[in-house]
Chain A
Amino acid sequence: MKKLAMKLIGACSLLLLFLTGCTNKIAVLNPQGPIARQQYHLIIWSVILTAFIFAVVLIIFIYVLVKFGRKNNHAGYDPNNHGNTKLEITWTLIPVIICILLAVPTVKTLFALDGPPKPAEGMSKKEAITINVTSADWKWIFRYPDEGIQTVNYVVIPEDTPVKFNLFAHSSMNSFWVPELGGQQYTMPDMPMKLWLQADHVGNYLGRSANFSGRGFAGMQFHVLSKTDADYKAWIQNIKDTKPALTMSKYEDLLKPSNVKTSAFSSYPKELDKKDNKAMKKMNHMEHMDIPENHMDLKSQDNDMDGMDMSDDSTKGGK
């Protein structure tokens, strides 16, 4: 059977690709932090269980084709064989069990990912840092509220430290994804979100937007540089000492649709922090199911906000 041979060769070579070599090129299978590692473990667990199902299906498939696919030999032919309760119960129950085996770690991981990663055994707990991320068409803007600095299209973090990314969007939605450090989260214009990430070691990790946002989307790529604590401090100091300040008008230029190179600023207008905080407060209110009047109130604030930063948003322009 030509077909079966093809299938087997295909399956084996895939497995080989999977298990050997190039996994360091396969970002998701090369986790570099506790968040990515939790997801990696879940992925591998699901691969094992589903591969088992696939193997069972494939074995039965090959068996029946070989046994009952012969041209001239019809041994065992039984046109009225139409059911077998025991078998049918078995192949309902086995998937049920597999679902349970998958559901339990899924739910556990989901709740674990909600908060900051726990320090590894024997390590002392490090203070988390916060970075506000804004996606604009088509670039990533990173603000460090504690340091007052801003970078564009790259972000520097200290190693072994939980980082809380607050995610905001200007105009379209994007998705913030650094596969080696962990799975993604959307940036949305009307609801700020958070994503915890942490890097084990010093390194340079590639991130990009995973959600389509228009013409310049393919260029929405950024680097996450993880540094030792000392290097991180030195880097911040260096930005503060050598980079220009960001004015509001320069910031508004930056928001206009374009792909840009990396850049950094020693400071940025304080209004931006206020705006970010206001949006996050609104979000928290919504999560706690606020009373209606309050909600209305927040909506009118929303309008003020538009007046401020969305008025001159030039659109996609001519096709």
Chain B
Amino acid sequence: MIENIKSFLGSFFVTGDPMIYGADASIALASIGIVFYLTYFKKWKWLWDEWLTTVDHKKIGIMYIIAAILMLFRGGVDALLMRAQLIIPNNTFLTSQHYNEIFTTHGTIMIFFMAMPFIFGLMNIAVPLQIGARDVAFPFLNAVSFWLFFLAAMLFNISFVIGGSPDAGWTSYAPLAGLKLDPGVGENYYLIALQISGIGTLATGVNFLVTIFKMRAPGMTLFKMPMFTWSTLVTSIIVIFAFPVLTIALALMSIDRLFGAHFFTIEAGGSPMMWANLFWIWGHPEVYIVLIPVLGIFSEVISTFAHKTLFGYKAMVWSMIAISVLSFTTWLHHFFTMGNTAMVNSFFSISTMIIAIPTGVKIFNWLFTLNKGRIEFTTAMLWALAFIPNFTIGGITGVMLSLAPADYQYHNSYFLIAHFHNVLIAGTVFGVFAGLHYWWPKMFGHILNERLGKWAFWVFMISYNICFLPMYFIGLMGMTRRMYTFPSGLGWEPLNLIITLGAFGMGVGFLIMVWMIVYSAKYGKRDTTGDPWNGRTLEWATSSPAPEYNFAHIPQVETVDAFAHMKEKGTADSIYKAPFQAIHMPNDSGIPFILSVFFFIAGFGLVFEWYWMAIPGAIGIVVCMILRSFKDHDDHHHIPAEEVEQTERAAGRLS
């Protein structure tokens, strides 16, 4: 009996590595600390009322961003561990199994639990405000999306202390990720956690599509929408077309692993290459899901701080639409080297290269937005400006990779790693940082410290180049990705050392940024006007932080840059003029959170194939859905006119 329990615990908890024990201890301590804090300061009710049950898009956005920053930290620590291992040849800091788990969780967390949630957070904050709406189309569903993502992220993250992490790469290729070559629960975590968060993502796509189509302020035609809203619309459409493919692929592989089917194993006629196809049919659009929204952010930031209207608005929109369509026609470039005919590779080489055309159009339009501008170098603007040359490097190396015969020499080498970090970091990460600085006052009512922000920018941006530019060369020298160690004597030592130094420099940049956030929370300059940057779009028309109902009166829109136009005409006060009316708002609900907890329970059960746990979890999910279906009649309330007036007065809007 005792023996049984011992052996169960031995396989349930990951054992044998001092770093893991350290992690166990810090997780336990942090949890105890949080529980103690909440209890001691009597914050449980506050947590439940204000956050766990909220359906307010702004609060959901804030929670997305907090979670994403935590995940950026986790993924960043993974990256630093990898680079610490590769600082010298034949290093023994990490074992190969440990390294494999770390690059897998690094990639998966960065894409699914950092980049996407960060972007969804900013969309939640900004899009309803930009289109002059009171909330998203389906506020309840929005909360469901968030909690599904959050609990899926937690499920994925516990894998490194309970049961073991996935270790077949973020691409999880069959047959390596199949049961035969990869027994244990690690890959199950990958499949189930991504499945759960994928459901949330799909719902977000639908939600924002409907929000943008149905809830724009009167007068805002599609071609008067702000560019970030446009980019969100395009992204939502990509999500809706791409995510079902991932859902199916994950489901099929889960059936392979949990129930012994052979969709992707060679036995009984399954096809590993089918996985590669399905994964990348979703995967290539996915990289545009995390890129297109930040292109929108850059358009907003560059136009705001060049104090100029965006150059070539229509071209910007159409190039985004072109990119979104083309993104579905290029997936095969991820496996040019899997024995395709010359004809097939020619087709996909050309379809990939073509994406450079609309992308180039966008770059030139930004350059010409700066032209004849009055450029103000705020921190947000620095991130946006740094994006232009750094992302262009990622873009041109992308074109180089698209030439299939040349790709035979780059594929799966550090050249590729350098390329996609050049687009993911200079694109996505710079973009969300720019967005964070830009919309921070709207979220919290104060401005992030510019001096610390600029320090963080320079340290991070320079270190980023020190880290990733040498990777191109070490790739050309023949170093492949996912090598947990490298031999000495090949001349790879100096560059690996430089790369690791750069990586740690980025870590320092991140720490400065965290310090900047803490510092600004305390000493940050208040934003009393609601319009700290002399903004051009509607989110700046309301006070900071935006009130629960966003706008006391829904704004009337006549042109692009609606708020700039209102300021010119002197009608900017039209949205907060008395008399006020009662405002109709959605009710908070605990169901999204509870539903997601049941998803977590069911998911955990499936990971360990404990059906006694999975089935009750599934029943809980169904019960939550049924409960929700009967609640339709009391899901909204009204904010009385007096309360609106009080709120506006408190924000200093009524003199």
Contacts and interface: CB of A to CB of B under 8 A. Distances in A.
The 5 closest A-B pairs by CB, nearest first: A183-B408, A50-B396, A193-B339, A212-B482, A210-B412
Interface string A1-45: 011001100100010010000100111110000001011001100
B33 interface: no
Contact of B408 (A7, A184, A206): A184
A68 interface: yes
A26 B476 contact: yes
Contact of A177 (B349, B480, B484): B480
B477 to A, nearest CB: 5
B361 A78 contact: no
8 contacts: A46-B406, A47-B400, A103-B353, A106-B349, A179-B476, A183-B409, A210-B411, A210-B412
A107 B404 CA distance: 9
A5 to B, nearest CB: 12
B254 interface: no
A188 B340 CA distance: 13
Given A61-B388, A96-B357, A14 B409 contact: no
B621 to A, nearest CB: 31
Contacts of B266: 189-190, 302, 306
B408 A68 contact: no
Interface of B: 96-97, 100, 164, 167-169, 173, 175-176, 180-184, 186, 266-269, 271-273, 306-315, 335, 337-339, 341-342, 345-346, 349-350, 353-354, 356-357, 360-361, 363-365, 367-368, 370-375, 377, 385-386, 388-389, 392-393, 396-397, 399-400, 403-413, 458, 462, 465, 469, 473, 476-478, 480-487, 490-491
Contacts of B389: 7, 54, 57-58, 61
Contacts of A270: none
A316 B272 CA distance: 18
A91 B360 contact: yes
Contact of B367 (A60, A191, A217): A60
B269 A191 contact: no
Nearest to B347: A107
Contacts of A68: 306, 370-375
A216 interface: yes
Contacts of A306: 266-267
Contacts of A42: 403, 405-406
A313 interface: yes
A10 B412 contact: no
A285 interface: no
A179 B473 CA distance: 13
A88 interface: yes
A50 B337 contact: no
Interface in A60-106: 60-61, 64-65, 67-69, 74, 76-84, 87-88, 91-92, 94-96, 98-99, 102-103, 106
B310 A211 contact: no
Contact of A190 (B272, B413, B476, B486): B272
A13 to B, nearest CB: 10
Contacts of A102: 353, 399, 403
Contact of B309 (A47, A58, A82, A110): A82
A135 interface: no
Interface stretch (A141-149, A154-162, A168-176): A168-176
A65 B406 CA distance: 35
A214 interface: yes
A92 B307 CA distance: 26
B462 A6 contact: yes
B182 A210 contact: no
Interface residues of A, number: 101
Contact of B181 (A3, A98, A179, A214): A214
Contacts of B411: 175, 183-184, 210
Contacts of A65: 370, 375, 385
A208 interface: yes
Nearest to A73: B374
A106 to B, nearest CB: 5
A210 B413 contact: yes
Contacts of B339: 185-186, 188, 191, 193
Nearest to A185: B337
Given A76-B372, A316-B183, A182 B399 contact: no
A114 interface: yes
A51 B472 CA distance: 15
Q: Which of A82, A185, A217 has the most CB of B within 10 A?
A: A82
Contacts of B360: 53, 91-92, 94-95
Q: Which of A113, A208, A211 has the most CB of B within 10 A?
A: A211
A315 interface: yes
B62 to A, nearest CB: 31
B29 to A, nearest CB: 26
Given A214-B176, A316-B182, A316-B183, A208 B338 contact: no
Contacts of B168: 212
Q: Which of B173, B271, B370, B409 has the most CB of A within 10 A?
A: B409
B405 A110 contact: yes
Contact of A82 (B96, B311, B377, B484): B311
Contacts of A124: none
A8 B176 CA distance: 44
A109 B405 contact: yes
Contacts of A221: 487
Nearest to A107: B346
B403 A74 contact: no
A212 B169 contact: yes
Nearest to B101: A319
B473 A173 contact: no
B375 A69 contact: yes
Contacts of A94: 360
A281 interface: no
A53 B392 CA distance: 9
Contacts of A188: 272-273, 338-339
Given A64-B371, A190-B272, A218 B486 contact: yes
A54 B393 contact: yes
Nearest to B396: A50
B404 A110 contact: yes
Contacts of A106: 346, 349-350, 403-406
Interface in A245-299: 287, 299
A206 B403 contact: no
A98 B462 CA distance: 30
A228 interface: no
